[in-house]
Amino acid sequence: MPEASAAHGLIVLAAGDSSRLGEPKQLLRHRGETLIHRAARLGLATAPADALIVLGAHADAMLANVQDLPIRAVDSEDWPLGLSHSLRAGVAALSPECAGALILLCDQIALDAEHLAALIDAWRSDPRRAAASCYAGHLGVPALLPRAWFDDLQRLEGDRGAGALLAQRSGEVIAIDKAALAIDIDRAVDLHWLET
C-alpha cells in the first residue's frame, strides 16, 4: 500500500461514567455541541476508512447524540474495569483494512481539525510508527497507532489507555505538539473551560 494512501480507522472512546465529575461529561455542551458529538465530528473529518464509537455507561443517551453521524457503535461490556477495556473493544472491532487507528477522547475541548490533520499527515509519512499529541510533557491522545501495535493494545489492563504504550514505545512515535490538549473536563472545577 502506498504510504500516502494508508487507511486509518477512527475510535472514539466514550464508555466511561465520569465518576469524578458526577455527570456524563460526554453530554456536556461546548459551543453549542455535546462533547461526544464534537469528538466524533472532528474525527470523521479525517476521512477514516472505518469509524466507531465505544459505548458503555449511559449508552442509549450517547448513541442518541451521534445518530446523525456515519459512525457505528461498539459496546464495551467491561468498561467498569477501566479505559483499557474500552480501547481493546474498539481495536478488536476495527475493520482489517485499517492500517492504523486514530484514538480520540471526548473531553479535550482544545481538539481541532488542524491538529488531527497534522497527526494523519505525520503518520502517513511512516505508517509503521505512531503519531501522537505532545502536551504537559508527555505523549498522549489524540494519537494514531499503527496496526503493528494492536496486539500490545489488547494486552493493556485496568485504567490505562494508549498513553502507557506511547511512553513505552516513544522511540517509535512522531510527536505533534499541542499544549492546549492538556485541558480536559474531568472534575467540576474544569467546567469553566466550557463555552456556551
pLDDT tier for residue 2 given thresholds of 50, 70 and 90: very low
pLDDT tens by residue, 66-85? 999 999 999 998 888 888 89
C-alpha span between 117 and 151 (Å, rounded): 26
CB 79 within 8 Å of CB 158: no
pLDDT of residue 157: 86
Question: 119: pLDDT confidence band, cut at 50, 70 and 90?
Answer: very high
Nearest to 65 by CA among 131, 31, 14, 116: 14
Helix (H, G, I), strand (E, B) or coil at 117: helix
The 10s digit of each residue's pLDDT in 126-155 is 999 999 999 999 999 999 999 999 999 989
CATH number assigned to the domain covering 7-193: 3.90.550.10
Global pTM reads 0.94
Chain position carrying cell 493494545: 153
Grid cell digits, residue 112: 481541532
- Amino acid letter, residue 190: D
Query: What is the per-residue pLDDT for 178?
Result: 96
| Nine cell digits for residue 58 | 449511559
